[in-house]
C-alpha cells in the first residue's frame, strides 16, 4: 500500500512539473510577443507577473526536493531499523541453537519418565498381586521374607514419588522454553518482512535519487532564468523610478493642499460662527441702548435677583433626572452580579443579542472612569451601539441623557450652552443642567435639587460627526485631572483644575461645573466616509468597543416593559470599583509580563504607550467582574482589542509583518483568545491587497 502511494505521488509530481514547464514556456512566448507592443510600465507589470509565476514554480520544486529529502531520511531510518533487526535475528538464532541440546535432553528425560511411569504401573500391579498372594500364604512365609518384601514395596513407592516430582519440574521448565521458542520464530518472520521492505526502499531510493538529480537541474535552470528576469526587471524599474518619484511628489503636494483646504474650511466656519455671535451681541447691545428698552440697567455688580434670573435656565432640573424617581435603599446595597443579571435579562427581553463577554466589557469600561474617561461604541450603523447603553442604564437604575452631536460643533459651548445677549440670559444645555444638579458640593446656587448621590450616563450620539477634539478636548482634560474618589468627595479646592467655567461674559464669580465620577460618558461613532477618526488623545483616554458588521440577522422584537427599578446609589456603584493597586499576586505578575511584551510590540509598530495606558489596563483587570477566580487572560485580551488595535489604524501591513505576528502569538498562544488572533490575521489578508493599511473592524463575540 505504501509503495502504491509513493508511486502515485511520484506520477503526480511529474505531471505537475511537466505542466509547470509547459505553462512557463507558453507564458514566456506570449510575453515575448506582447513585450514590444506595451509601454514600459506595462512591460514591467508583465515581467513581474512572469517572474512571480516562475518563482512560484521554483518554490514548488524546492518543496518537492524537501519532500524527497524527507523520504530519503525515512528510507535511511528504515534501513537502520532493518540492520538492527537482522542483528537481533542472528542473536536469537544463536540462542535457539544453544537451546536445542537442552530441548533434546528435556525430551529424552520425558521419554525416560514415561518409561519409568510404565514400569511403575507394572510394578504396582505386581505389588498388588504380591500383596494378594502374601495374604493367601502369609502363614506359610517366614518373617524374613515378609520384611524383605515390605522394604521392596517402600522403595518402589519412594521411587514413584521421586519420578512424579521430576516429571512436574520438567513440565514447569518446558512452558517458558516453548514460549521463548515461539517468540524467536515470530521475530525471525518479522525480520524477514523488514528485510524485504528494506530492499524495496532501496530500489525506491534509487528512483528518488534520479528524480532529485533531475529536479536539481531544473531548479538551477529556473534560477538562471529568474536571475535574467531580475536583471531585466531592475533595468525597467530604473526607467520608471523618476516617474514614480514625480507621482509621489504630486501626491504629497495634493495631500498638503487638502490639509490646508480643510484647515482653511474649519477656520472659515469658526469665523462665520464668531461673526454670527458678534452680530447677535451687537444687536443685543443696540437694543439695550434704545430709549426705554427692556433690561437697560446701569453697569455694575449684579443683584441676587438679577444673578438668579441670569442662571435660571442652568439650575432647572433636566428631564433625565425625573426617572428613576425613587432612590435605592442605602441599608440594602445591591450586589454587582445581581445587577448584571438584571441587565442581561432586560437586554434579552428587548431582543438585543449581546454576549456576556461584551456586557462585562462594557460594564467594566464604565467602572474605570477614573483612568479611562470615556467609553466609545464604534461600528457600522444599525448594530445596536445606541441601544446597549440605553437599555443598560434602564436596567441599572442610571439616569440617561442622549446628546446628538451636530457636524457644526467646534467648541465646549456646544455642549454646555451660551449667553444670549438679546435675552440677557444663559441658555444652558441638558448636559449643563445635569452637571449643575449633580455637583457634589451644591456649588451652583438656586439648583432645584441636588442629585450627587445618583448616577447618570451621558451618551454623545454619533460623536465623530464633528471633530471630537474641537468640542470635547477640554472635557477630556478636566476629566483626567479629577482627584480620585476614595470613599468620599475631595475638597472643592483640590478639584479646581477639573472645574469648567460657565461662559457668561462680564459676570463676576461665574459658576463652575464639575464633571464628577457620578457622570459616565459614553460615545457612539459610525464607520463611514462622513465621519472623523479619533485622535490619539481620545484613544489614550478611553475604551473603544468596535462592533463588526453582522453576518447573522436574527428576528427582532419590540422592547419589553420598562424595568421597575430604583435609582442606583452612587455609593453602591463605587462599592463595586477597585483601584489598580488591588491587582496583585499571580494576576498582577501576569499583567506585568503581558503589558511589558505589549509595550515592546507597540514600540515596533511606532505606536509606543506610557504610564497612563499601563495604569488603565491594570485598572480594567482589577474591576473585571467574575463569580470566581479573575479571568485575567480574557480581560487582557479585551484591553488589547479596545485600547491597542484602534491605535493601529493606518499602519502599513507589509512593513510590520513581524509585529503583527508577535501580536497574534501574544493573543492566541499566551492569552488563549484564538478568535481574536484569527480575526486580526483575516483583516490583514483582506486589507493587504486593498489599501495595504490595517484598520480594526471588530470581532463578533458569540
What CATH code is carried by the domain that includes residue 523?
3.40.50.300
pLDDT score for 63 = 78
CB 431 within 8 A of CB 458: yes
Domain span at residue 619?
Answer: 579-702
* Residue 603 domain-assigned (yes or no): yes
CB 641 within 8 A of CB 611: no
The answer to whether residues 429 and 371 belong to one domain is yes
Residue-averaged pLDDT of the chain: 81
Q: How confident is the model over 271-314, as pLDDT tens digits?
A: 655 665 665 556 555 555 444 444 443 345 788 888 888 889 99
Instruction: Measure Cα distances from 84 to 79, 187, 384 in Å.
Output: 9, 12, 70
pLDDT score for 608 = 94
* Residue 277 domain-assigned (yes or no): no
- The mean pLDDT value for 416-435 works out to 89
Taking the C-alpha atoms of residue 523 and residue 385, their distance in angstroms, rounded to an integer, is 9
The answer to whether residues 570 and 589 belong to one domain is no
The answer to whether residues 484 and 498 belong to one domain is yes
Out of 260, 279, 308, pick the residue that ends a domain: 260
* 200-214, 342-356, 548-562: least confident range: 548-562
Out of 577, 609, 642, pick the residue that ends a domain: 577
Q: How confident is the model over 460-487, as pLDDT tens digits?
A: 999 999 999 889 988 999 999 999 998 8
The answer to whether residues 237 and 118 belong to one domain is yes
The answer to whether residues 526 and 648 belong to one domain is no
Taking the C-alpha atoms of residue 638 and residue 667, their distance in angstroms, rounded to an integer, is 10
The answer to whether residues 439 and 586 belong to one domain is no
What does the longest C-alpha to C-alpha distance in the chain come to? 181
Q: How confident is the model over 376-397, as pLDDT tens digits?
A: 999 988 777 899 999 999 999 9
Q: pLDDT category, 515, cuts 50, 70, 90?
A: very high
Give residues with Cβ within 8 angstroms of 463, minimum separation 6: 376, 405, 472, 523, 524, 525
Whether 232 shows a pLDDT value over 60: the answer reads yes
* 130-139, 311-320, 491-500: least confident range: 130-139
Taking the C-alpha atoms of residue 79 and residue 626, their distance in angstroms, rounded to an integer, is 59
The answer to whether residues 561 and 640 belong to one domain is no
* Residue 180 domain-assigned (yes or no): yes
* Residue 386 domain-assigned (yes or no): yes
The answer to whether residues 570 and 584 belong to one domain is no
The answer to whether residues 413 and 477 belong to one domain is yes
- The mean pLDDT value for 235-246 works out to 66
Q: What is the CA radius of gyration of the chain?
A: 46
How is residue 583 written as a grid cell? 491587582
pLDDT score for 322 = 94
Higher pLDDT, 146 or 371: 371
Q: pLDDT category, 137, cuts 50, 70, 90?
A: low
SS (H, E, C) 337-401: HHHHHHHHHHHHHCCCCCCHHHHHHHHHHHHCCCCCCEEEEEECCCCCCCHHHHHHHHHHCCEEE
Q: pLDDT category, 341, cuts 50, 70, 90?
A: very high
The answer to whether residues 159 and 207 belong to one domain is yes
Taking the C-alpha atoms of residue 250 and residue 83, their distance in angstroms, rounded to an integer, is 73
* Residue 284 domain-assigned (yes or no): no
In 3D space, the residue among 619, 610, 565, 555 whose CA is nearest the CA of residue 587 turns out to be 619
Calculate the CA dihedral of residues 78, 83, 86, 91 and round it to 10 degrees.
Answer: -130
The answer to whether residues 418 and 487 belong to one domain is yes
The answer to whether residues 331 and 233 belong to one domain is no
Q: pLDDT category, 213, cuts 50, 70, 90?
A: confident
pLDDT score for 142 = 59
Q: How confident is the model over 42-80, as pLDDT tens digits?
A: 555 565 677 777 777 777 777 777 777 777 777 777 777
Does a cis peptide bond (omega within 30 degrees of 0) precede residue 324? yes
* Residue 271 domain-assigned (yes or no): no
342-357 burial: b if 16+ Cβ within 10 Å, else e: bbbebbebbebebeee
Taking the C-alpha atoms of residue 469 and residue 471, their distance in angstroms, rounded to an integer, is 6
Percent of the chain exceeding pLDDT 90 equals 41
Q: pLDDT category, 367, cuts 50, 70, 90?
A: very high
* Residue 16 domain-assigned (yes or no): yes
* Residue 666 domain-assigned (yes or no): yes
CB 396 within 8 A of CB 411: no
Taking the C-alpha atoms of residue 391 and residue 397, their distance in angstroms, rounded to an integer, is 10
Out of 238, 260, 282, pick the residue that ends a domain: 260
Q: How confident is the model over 147-197, as pLDDT tens digits?
A: 776 777 777 777 777 767 777 776 676 667 777 767 777 777 777 776 777
pTM higher than 0.85 for the full model? no
SS (H, E, C) 546-600: EECCCCCCCCCCCCCCCCCCCECCHHHHHHCCCCHHHCCHHHHHHHHHHHHHHHH
- Total domain count, the chain: 3
Q: How confident is the model over 661-676, as pLDDT tens digits?
A: 999 999 999 999 999 9
Taking the C-alpha atoms of residue 134 and residue 122, their distance in angstroms, rounded to an integer, is 18
Selection from 45-54, 115-124, 624-633 with the highest mean pLDDT: 624-633
CB 69 within 8 A of CB 136: no
* 224-228, 626-630, 650-654, 675-679: least confident range: 626-630
Amino acid at each position: 500500500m505504501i509503495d502504491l502511494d509513493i508511486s502515485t505521488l511520484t506520477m503526480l509530481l511529474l505531471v505537475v512539473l511537466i505542466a509547470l514547464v509547459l505553462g512557463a514556456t507558453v507564458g514566456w512566448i506570449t510575453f515575448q510577443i506582447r513585450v514590444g507592443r506595451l509601454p514600459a510600465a506595462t512591460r514591467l507589470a508583465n515581467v513581474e507577473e512572469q517572474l512571480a509565476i516562475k518563482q512560484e514554480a521554483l518554490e514548488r520544486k524546492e518543496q518537492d526536493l524537501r519532500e524527497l529529502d524527507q523520504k530519503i531520511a525515512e528510507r535511511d531510518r528504515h534501513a537502520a531499523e532493518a540492520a538492527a533487526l537482522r542483528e537481533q535475528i542472528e542473536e536469537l538464532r544463536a540462542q535457539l541453537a544453544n537451546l536445542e541440546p537442552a530441548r533434546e535432553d528435556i525430551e529424552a528425560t520425558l521419554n525416560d519418565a514415561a518409561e519409568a511411569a510404565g514400569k511403575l504401573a507394572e510394578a504396582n500391579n505386581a505389588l498388588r498381586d504380591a500383596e494378594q498372594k502374601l495374604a493367601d500364604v502369609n502363614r506359610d512365609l517366614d518373617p524374613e521374607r515378609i520384611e524383605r518384601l515390605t522394604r521392596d514395596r517402600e522403595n518402589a513407592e519412594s521411587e514413584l514419588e521421586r519420578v512424579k516430582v521430576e516429571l512436574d519440574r520438567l513440565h514447569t521448565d518446558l512452558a517458558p522454553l516453548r514460549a521463548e521458542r515461539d517468540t524467536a520464530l515470530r521475530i525471525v518472520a518479522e525480520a524477514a518482512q523488514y528485510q524485504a521492505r528494506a530492499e524495496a526502499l532501496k530500489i525506491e531510493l534509487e528512483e528518488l535519487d534520479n528524480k532529485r538529480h533531475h529536479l536539481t537541474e531544473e531548479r538551477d535552470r529556473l534560477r538562471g532564468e529568474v536571475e535574467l528576469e531580475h536583471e531585466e526587471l531592475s533595468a525597467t524599474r530604473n526607467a520608471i523610478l523618476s516617474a514614480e518619484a514625480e507621482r509621489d511628489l504630486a501626491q504629497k503636494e495634493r495631500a498638503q493642499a487638502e490639509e490646508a483646504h480643510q484647515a482653511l474650511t474649519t477656520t472659515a466656519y469658526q469665523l462665520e460662527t464668531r461673526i454670527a455671535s458678534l452680530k447677535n451681541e451687537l444687536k443685543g447691545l443696540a437694543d439695550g441702548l434704545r430709549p426705554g428698552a427692556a433690561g437697560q440697567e446701569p453697569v455694575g455688580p449684579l443683584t441676587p435677583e438679577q444673578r438668579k434670573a441670569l442662571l435660571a435656565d442652568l439650575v432647572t432640573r433636566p428631564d433625565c433626572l425625573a426617572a428613576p424617581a425613587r432612590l435605592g435603599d442605602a441599608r440594602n446595597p445591591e450586589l454587582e452580579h445581581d445587577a448584571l443579571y438584571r441587565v442581561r435579562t432586560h437586554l434579552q427581553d428587548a431582543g438585543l443579542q449581546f454576549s456576556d463577554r461584551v456586557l462585562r466589557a462594557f460594564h467594566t469600561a464604565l467602572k474605570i472612569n477614573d483612568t479611562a474617561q470615556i467609553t466609545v461604541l464604534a461600528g457600522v450603523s444599525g448594530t445596536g451601539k445606541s441601544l446597549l447603553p440605553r437599555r443598560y442604564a434602564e436596567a441599572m437604575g442610571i439616569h440617561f441623557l442622549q446628546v446628538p452631536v451636530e457636524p457644526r460643533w467646534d467648541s465646549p459651548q456646544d455642549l454646555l450652552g451660551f449667553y444670549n445677549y438679546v435675552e440677557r440670559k444663559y441658555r444652558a444645555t441638558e448636559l449643563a443642567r445635569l452637571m449643575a444638579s449633580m455637583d457634589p458640593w451644591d456649588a451652583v446656587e438656586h439648583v432645584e435639587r441636588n442629585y450627587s448621590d445618583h448616577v447618570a450616563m451621558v451618551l454623545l450620539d454619533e460623536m465623530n460627526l464633528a471633530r471630537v477634539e474641537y468640542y470635547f478636548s477640554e472635557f477630556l482634560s478636566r476629566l483626567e485631572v479629577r482627584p480620585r474618589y476614595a470613599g468620599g468627595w475631595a475638597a472643592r479646592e483640590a478639584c479646581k483644575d477639573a472645574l469648567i467655567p460657565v461662559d457668561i461674559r462680564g459676570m463676576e464669580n461665574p459658576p463652575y461645573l464639575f464633571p464628577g465620577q457620578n457622570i459616565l460618558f459614553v460615545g457612539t461613532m459610525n464607520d463611514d466616509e462622513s465621519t472623523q477618526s479619533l485622535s490619539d488623545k481620545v484613544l489614550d483616554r478611553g475604551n473603544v468597543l468596535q462592533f463588526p458588521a453582522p453576518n447573522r440577522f436574527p428576528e427582532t422584537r419590540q422592547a419589553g416593559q420598562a424595568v421597575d427599578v430604583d435609582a442606583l446609589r452612587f455609593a453602591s456603584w463605587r462599592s463595586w470599583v477597585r483601584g489598580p493597586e488591588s491587582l496583585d499576586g499571580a494576576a498582577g505578575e501576569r499583567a506585568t509580563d503581558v503589558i511589558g511584551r505589549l509595550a515592546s510590540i507597540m514600540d515596533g509598530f511606532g505606536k509606543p504607550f506610557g504610564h497612563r495606558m499601563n495604569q488603565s489596563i491594570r485598572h480594567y483587570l482589577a474591576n473585571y467582574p467574575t463569580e470566581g477566580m479573575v479571568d485575567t487572560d480574557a480581560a487582557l485580551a479585551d484591553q488589547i482589542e479596545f485600547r491597542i488595535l484602534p491605535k493601529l489604524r493606518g499602519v502599513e501591513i507589509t512593513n510590520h509583518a513581524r509585529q503583527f505576528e508577535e501580536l497574534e502569538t501574544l493573543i492566541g498562544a499566551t492569552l488563549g483568545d484564538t478568535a481574536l488572533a484569527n480575526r486580526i490575521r483575516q483583516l490583514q489578508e483582506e486589507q493587504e491587497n486593498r489599501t495595504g493599511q490595517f484598520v480594526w473592524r471588530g470581532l463578533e463575540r458569540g
